[in-house]
Chain A
Amino acid sequence: MFAWLDLLIQLLVEKVFKISMSTRLGSSIHFFFYDTIKIVILLALMIFAISYIRSYFPPERTKKILEKFGDITGNIMASLLGIVTPFCSCSSVPIFIGFVEAGIPLGVTFSFLITSPIVNEAAFAILLASFGWKIALVYVITGVIVGVIGGILIGSLHLEKEVEEYVYQIQTGEVEIEKMTAKDRAKFAWDNVKDIVKRIWIYLLIGIGIGAIIHGWAPAPVLAKYAGPNNPFAVFVAVVLGIPLYSNALGTIPIAEALINKGVGMGTALAFMMAVTALSAPEMVLLRKVIKPKLIAAFVTITGTAIILVGYLFNAIAHFLV
């Protein structure tokens, strides 16, 4: 799909900069320009397309749909709707209250809260740019599975008492979902593109820059030895590192891309990405307003463990996917 760009940047490096592609500097520069342009194109296209679809599923509508489902089917529905419902950590508290207030079971609510941030348009676009369709799709499917299983487990712990009491007392109003025209939806989607690009471009450039250096200079055998699929601790460390980071850290994916080319396990990189998006420190602080530490701990432990298992699974089967 991007062979033309690959060629174009090769020409740029060799004819304009007059650096041979076989040198370290040449291959680093190529990586930087090629990745930047490819990611920006895909990011804009994907965010626009996905946001357009998402404009049909405001959380208020998702809530109405979920009210109709009980356990397990509810978990599955919640995770699936998590894909299409726009989410930002700033709305996790209102969504949580709205769901609980509507009588949606705690486990089902968490299925949504786990999958929705993992499967987001920016993560999808960057994965698509860095690793291709198969990996991006597999990421979405696993994001749903982690949400379903995480939600079922959290539900089975019966931690309803660990929700702050006042949450049950809040009265939420009914709201009529506004009718949007195609033009409104296009504007919503385009605003979203601008918003996300504005938020992550600097991290992305830094990520691609570091990725480019790794690409040209990092010693592959060393990395493969310490962070390769055969090191049992790599996934664990990646997930623990990912938890305090916020989703702006998606910019680090080009680093992961470069590392994977050098022998770091695919599962390690995917697990890192999921940990970054699903479990972020700012979101915990926000959620603390509505749930008690015990439930937060259960959420982090269960989701973290599920992500680590996914990492190992991918490291084991990655060679079937690429």
Chain B
Amino acid sequence: MVIKILGSGCANCKKLEANAREAVKELGIEATIEKVEDFKDIMAYGVMKTPALVVDEQVKIMGRVPSVEDIKKYLK
């Protein structure tokens, strides 16, 4: 599973990344977490409000920081 965090390095993006890592750890699944910081690449997903969570190339969450529990739902 490939998880991408879209965001230009703002505080919320870091929080989302941390939450995503925690969710992966708690679920005990195999997943790589990548950060997408260039806004051209972010736009390619159609996302206009960061941070956003992309799981296997699908935008799951945008414009808010979901909780660890929240993210888990999208990783199952």
Contacts and interface: CB of A to CB of B under 8 A. Distances in A.
Interface residues of B, number: 23
Nearest to A171: B44
Interface string A148-182: 00000000000000000010001111111010000
Interface residues of A, number: 27
A173 B12 CA distance: 22
A176 B46 CA distance: 9
Interface in A124-146: none
Contacts of A170: 40, 43-44
B29 to A, nearest CB: 22
A311 interface: no
B74 to A, nearest CB: 10
B39 A172 contact: no
B67 A175 contact: no
Interface stretch (A30-38, A74-82, A86-94, A200-208): A86-94
A97 B41 CA distance: 12
B19 interface: no
A60 B43 contact: no
Interface in A182-233: 184, 187-188, 191, 195
A105 interface: no
A60 B48 contact: yes
A304 interface: no
A98 interface: yes
A173 B40 CA distance: 11
A98 B62 CA distance: 15
Interface of B: 8, 10, 12, 39-40, 42-50, 59-65, 67, 70
Interface of A: 58-60, 63, 86, 90-91, 93-95, 97-98, 101, 166, 170-176, 178, 184, 187-188, 191, 195
Given A98-B43, A101-B43, A191-B65, 16 more contacts: A58-B63, A59-B49, A86-B63, A90-B10, A91-B49, A94-B39, A94-B42, A94-B50, A172-B43, A172-B46, A174-B46, A175-B45, A175-B46, A184-B70, A187-B64, A187-B67
19 contacts: A58-B62, A91-B50, A93-B39, A94-B39, A94-B48, A95-B49, A98-B43, A98-B46, A98-B48, A166-B40, A170-B43, A170-B44, A171-B43, A173-B43, A173-B45, A174-B46, A175-B46, A176-B59, A178-B61
